[in-house]
Structure formats: structure tokens, C-alpha cells
Amino acid sequence: MKQEVTHERGVNAILMKSWLEQNHQSEFETICGKLSEAARDMLTSPATNQWYPVELMKEIYAAVFEVLSPDNPRILADYGYFAAERSASGLLKYLMRFIDM
């Protein structure tokens, strides 16, 4: 039987919040305004060890793309690079420098 992912840890929301604050601070409130209350709470006050419904992160990705993609259609790829850089370590982090998306 195929298992479906229904929840993910708050570390992803922490990475997204950090990326937005470092790179898109002026759009942060606009993005938050497009989110449901639950998704906004997850983004503004994420807890590392908390498990969140995966739909909330999808909602955040959609809002980020809606607000930021007119200037950069690859905005989520930019976030992916940021998240990978912060999450990886050792040899994997070194090897990621050679990956081109």
C-alpha cells in the first residue's frame, strides 16, 4: 500500500521564514495576507519539532509564488537552493555546488 505524506516538520516553515526575511522582507506581509490563519501562524511562528499538515506548506509555496514570481519565475528554485544550503552538511553540501537546475 502506498503511503501518503500528510504532515511535515516545522523546520521547512522556519527555513521559508528565514529566506523571506533575508531576501524578501518587504513582501513578507503581502504574502502573509494571502494565507489562511493556520498557514500564517505556521509561517510567522514556526516550531522546529511541531508537525504541520502538508497542505499548509503548499499554501505558503503558492502565496510566495503568486507574490514573487512576476519578477522571478524561478523564485521557488531560489528558495530550494537556500533551503538545501542551510540543511545539508559535509560532503553533500560540497557536491551541491556542482548541481545546476
The tens digit of pLDDT for each residue in 38-70 reads 999 999 999 988 999 999 999 999 999 999 999
In a domain, 81, yes or no: yes
In a domain, 20, yes or no: yes
What mean pLDDT do residues 73-100 have? Answer: 75
In a domain, 1, yes or no: no
How far does the chain reach from its first CA to its final CA, in angstroms? 32
User: Is pLDDT at 101 greater than 70 in this prediction?
Assistant: no
Cα–Cα distance list, 6 to 23, 53, 54, 100 (Å) = 29, 6, 5, 30
Full DSSP string of 27-72: GHHHHHHTS-HHHHHHHHS--TT-EEEHHHHHHHHHHHHHHHTTT-
**Mean pLDDT, all residues of the chain:** 89
Q: What domain count does the chain have?
A: 1
| Residue 58 phi, psi (nearest 5) | -60, -40
Q: What is the pLDDT of residue 92?
A: 52
Rounded to two decimals, what is the model's pTM?
A: 0.83
Q: Report residue 57 as a C-alpha cell.
A: 506548506
In a domain, 101, yes or no: no
